[in-house]
Chains A and B, each alone.
Chain A
Amino acid sequence: MSADGSAAATTAAASSDRTDGRSLGERIVGSSVGDRAYVAIITGFAVCVPLLLAFIFIEVLLAGWPALQTFGFGFLTSATWDPVHRQFGAGPAIFGTIVTSIIALIIATPLALGVAVFLSEYAPAWMRQPVGFLVDLLAAIPSVVYGLWGIFVLIPVMREHVMPFLRDTLGLGATPFFTGPMYGNSVLAASVILAIMVLPYISAVSREVLLAVPRSQREAALALGATRWEMIQKAVLPYARSGIIGGVILGLGRALGETMAVTMLIGNSHEVSASLFAPGYTMASLIANEFAEASDDLHLSALMAVGFVLLVVTLIVNAIARWLVWRVARGPKGAP
């Protein structure tokens, strides 16, 4: 396959050492037309991303503006969501979004890394693709199905086994994070299902990145007398660090924006509580729950305003994550 005629000519010229009147430098820099077109195309595609986001941002802001104007800053802190009396405040939803996403990542990242490390370092080659498929398939399960499975399987298990275990057996009930009635529907249950949903993203990217670490790195570590775990810890993981973090951020994105499954498990209650056993709310599920039925203008505008706030929260969280990546990447690393 040739990009274009002149590129082929350039290659031919270089390989057969024929000069055609152009200097070596001109030939090496490459056919200007083909290159310029290529760069223009991929730049064009790249620009689509900010354009898309800009459109959505403006659209959501315009639609949500009436509500934001009406409620002002209180929209972010108020816990009153009353469609009948037309009072809207998204405080608990914002809190719930952040809490569930963070807990989901705390649960999912070690597991995803674990399976990625397993597949790249320990598992025999024949196991990689099938098990890899299995984990990646978690991404294919529709959100609705996660929600239903959560209602029928996860919630009873949480209510009858996991929550009592955490509170009584592990004694964590002494802390304010594991108190209150155990309905089952709770921030904890929503975080667990989010963790499962987020797993495949972190795991797929981590697995690929780990597999791409050159064998020479591993062999060098082993030659120096490292045990297998030390080799992974000191030679492989640091090399893959930024890629893994990229995967985690991808998972974070999913966690922030997930609607269906969360709304079926979180209890949908506009309250802020320190306890993970308490029901809560997230911004995405708030929108998903009420959008289909909302017909009052202020109500709709409030929902779009929640969408806008979610965009801003996502921006902030991602900015923090990026800053962390920058801090971490300044340490020892091996990626090209």
Chain B
Amino acid sequence: MIHATRSLVVAAAIVLASGCSGEMKGSASDGSKSASSSGVDLTGAGATFPNPVYTAWIHAYDSVAGVKINYQSIGSGGGIRQMQEQTVDFGATDGPMTPDEMSKAKGGPIMHFPTVLGADVIIYNVPSVTQPLKLTGPVIADVYLGKITKWNDTRIATLNAGANLPASDIIVVRRSDGSGTTFIFTDYLSTVSPEWEKTVGRGKDVKWPVGIGAKGNEGVAGQVKQTPGSIGYTELAYARQNKLQYAHVRNAAGRFIEPSIASTSAAAAAAKLPPDTDYRVSIVNAVGPDAYPIASFTWLLVYQNQPDAVKGRKLKEFMRWFYANGEKAATALDYGPLPGNLSQRLIARLDSIQVGGTK
């Protein structure tokens, strides 16, 4: 036992010693350029939804500029909190910060920069239906309010003439954890259904009238995949990767739109953004012939006055890079890239980030 304790203590001492000596293993084996002696250049935290895209951009940027960025998807709320406390250099969120939250930020005003687009798709598991279902906002709202309970309800049947709808119960699946995906979904439902807006409202986390709660997008996708007769909502990437059936939703222009990268970008293009917008806007139910109605931005959060000049510059360069070059990586991963002119506007907006403040 003494020897065991000794070995443990020695081992711990070695680790501590090597840690304290500031040794850092080079990443030469990955072929990237050696970075500055501090290791990681920037730290970011927040939204889970865009994590795959940000990871791809960060990795590509490392080989282009040798700047190392450590982004961890601890959740939008986590990202907002870390930003408020300034424990990270930038944050990411799927739902815009409220004025109350922004007032608590210790480093001054925070700017929201949209990065990519996400779409909530309505997934379902009804094997007897072979063509994609057509649904409208009010119908979806009533399903989630518990007012439409069977698949062969007249309202669904009228929209889908000829579809083989079973007489079984609709098993509603919703999220148990707070999330930006829920925010987009409830934002949309509040927009199209006055009753939803009154009783439930919009939020990352709401009091669901019906349904079983699954954790995370993958939880909802998994649940729907395994439960015949179920319906759920999840991000486009999850629906595609899990090969689930998803519905065509009628948009504000009256057309049934299939969720896709193109229709998601169309929603952003259709959104009318005033020149002085702070981009904390919702683009659900966008007016545009090809716009998918349940779409939204996801944002990067940066302080308008960067506390650290070196980091601030690197952050701006990174953002400039991905606005110019990030589209391909985004579409490859099933994310909707920002429309070209919007990217340009945002690159110009980067200039309003003040760098060179005192440390």
Contacts and interface: CB of A to CB of B under 8 A. Distances in A.
Direct contact of A and B (CB under 8 A): yes
Interface of A: 1, 80-85, 87, 147, 151-152, 155-156, 183-185, 263-264, 267-270, 279, 285, 288-297, 299
Interface stretch (B197-205, B231-239, B276-284): B197-205
6 contacts: A82-B206, A151-B222, A268-B214, A292-B178, A293-B204, A294-B77
A292 B205 contact: no
A1 B97 CA distance: 62
B85 interface: no
A87 B201 CA distance: 13
Interface string B201-219: 1111111000111110001
A299 B205 contact: yes
Contact of A293 (B2, B76, B207): B76
Nearest to B186: A84
A155 B178 contact: no
A269 B211 CA distance: 8
Contacts of A269: 211-213
Contact of B207 (A84, A264, A279): A84
B38 interface: no
A122 B203 CA distance: 58
B81 interface: yes
Given A263-B215, A292-B178, A294-B77, A84 B200 contact: yes
B179 interface: yes
A192 to B, nearest CB: 17
A71 B197 CA distance: 24
A184 to B, nearest CB: 8
B308 interface: no
B198 to A, nearest CB: 10
A185 B76 CA distance: 26
Given A263-B215, A269-B213, A1 B179 contact: no
Contact of A267 (B75, B203, B213): B213
B100 A297 contact: yes
Contacts of A263: 176-177, 215
B101 interface: yes
Given A151-B219, A156-B226, A292-B74, 12 more contacts: A82-B207, A83-B205, A84-B201, A84-B203, A183-B171, A185-B212, A263-B215, A269-B212, A293-B205, A294-B77, A295-B204, A296-B98
B81 A295 contact: yes
B51 to A, nearest CB: 13
A204 B176 CA distance: 34
A292 B226 contact: no
A56 B149 CA distance: 46
Contacts of A87: 207
A191 B77 CA distance: 29
Contacts of A288: 177
Contacts of B205: 83-84, 290, 293-294, 299
A88 to B, nearest CB: 10
B158 to A, nearest CB: 27
A85 B207 contact: yes
Contacts of A295: 76-77, 80-81, 97-98, 101, 204
Contacts of B211: 269
A288 B219 CA distance: 15
Contacts of B202: 84
Contacts of B289: none
Interface string B100-116: 11000000000000000
A190 to B, nearest CB: 12
Interface centre among B77, B78, B206 (most CB of A within 10 A): B77
A264 B220 CA distance: 10
A78 to B, nearest CB: 12
